[in-house]
């Protein structure tokens, strides 16, 4: 069973009229795909900022110990970006979260409710880094965020609240069990 195969049922009350013209409400239940993704872009953005800060601290520490000393600001920025992508990918593939995601109680999982592979995490973090830069260009922010969210869905990658993981596992177990009716 995969997360992308899970469905939820939602009830809505649709207003209509009876034969006498009185307003009544019809209860309609419909099935829709389950989407556990955390919808808050703010939490995800600030977790990236924390990850960027962590990478800057690593870069400064390396420079203080005599490693990676440069005089070029652009090259320093590139080193920080690479460090951020690497540290984020290592943490996501090992524990499912980066430092920022741990603070905001978020976790990154795949369609089987497992941590991402290192390769998939590298690709995800490289793309997600564009979100930080897109905030400097207000026109691009929404478009890039929508593209990134769609890419995550197509790649069956979910950024969820840690508390949601238990719900997902229970739903997957219930769906996997055969009906005994």
Are both 143 and 96 inside the same structural domain?
Answer: yes
The reported pLDDT for the residue numbered 129 is 73
Nearest to 106 by CA among 19, 165, 156, 150: 165
The answer to whether residues 47 and 12 belong to one domain is no
Residues of the chain with pLDDT under 70: 68-69, 130-145, 176-181
Same domain membership, residue 68 and residue 17: no
Q: Which residues pair with residue 11 across a beta bridge?
A: 29
The pLDDT value recorded for residue 98 is 92
Residue 177 maps to a domain = no
Query: What is the pLDDT at residue 74?
Result: 81
Residues 25 and 105 in one domain: no
Residue 138 is predicted with a pLDDT of: 59
* pLDDT on residue 130: 67
143 is a domain residue: yes
Give the residue numbers spanning the domain of 86: 41-172
Query: How many domains does one find in the chain?
Result: 2
Q: Are residues 97 and 126 in the same domain?
A: yes
Determine, yes or no, domain membership for 180.
no
pLDDT of residue 92: 93
Residue 133 lies inside a defined structural domain of this protein: yes
> Is residue 178 a part of any domain in this protein?
no
| Burial readout 68-90 (b: 16 or more C-beta within 10 A, e: otherwise) | eeeeeeeebeebbbebbbbbbbe
Whether residues 89 and 129 share a domain: the answer is yes
**49 and 29 in a common domain:** no
Domain assignment present for residue 80? The answer is yes
Are 12 and 59 within one domain? no
Q: Do 159 and 119 share a domain, yes or no?
A: yes
User: Are 25 and 96 members of one domain?
Assistant: no
Q: Is residue 144 domain-resident?
A: yes
Which residues touch 156 (CB under 8 Å, ≥6 apart)? 2, 3, 4, 110, 111
Residues 95 and 112 in one domain: yes
How confident is the model over 98-137, as pLDDT tens digits?
999 999 999 999 989 999 999 999 988 888 776 666 666 6
Judge if 94 and 141 occupy the same domain.
yes
User: What is the rounded distance in angstroms from the CA atom of residue 111 to the CA atom of residue 98?
Assistant: 19
Q: What is the pLDDT of residue 134?
A: 62
pLDDT at 176: 65
């Amino acid at each position: 069973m995969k997360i992308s195969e899970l469905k939820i049922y939602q009830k809505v009350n649709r207003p209509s009229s009876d034969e006498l013209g009185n307003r009544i409400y019809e209860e309609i239940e419909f099935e829709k795909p389950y989407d556990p993704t955390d919808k808050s872009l703010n939490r995800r953005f600030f977790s990236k900022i924390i990850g960027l800060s962590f990478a800057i601290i690593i870069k400064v520490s390396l420079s203080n110990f005599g490693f990676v000393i440069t005089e070029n600001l652009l090259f320093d920025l590139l080193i920080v970006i690479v460090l951020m992508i690497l540290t984020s990918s290592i943490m996501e593939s090992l524990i499912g979260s980066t430092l920022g995601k741990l603070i905001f109680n978020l976790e990154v999982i795949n369609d089987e409710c497992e941590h991402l592979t290192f390769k998939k995490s590298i690709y995800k973090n490289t793309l997600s880094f564009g979100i930080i830069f897109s905030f400097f260009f207000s026109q691009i922010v929404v478009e890039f965020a929508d593209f990134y969210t769609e890419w995550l869905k197509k790649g069956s990658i979910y950024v969820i609240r840690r508390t949601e993981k238990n719900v997902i596992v229970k739903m997957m177990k219930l769906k996997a069990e055969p009906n005994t009716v």
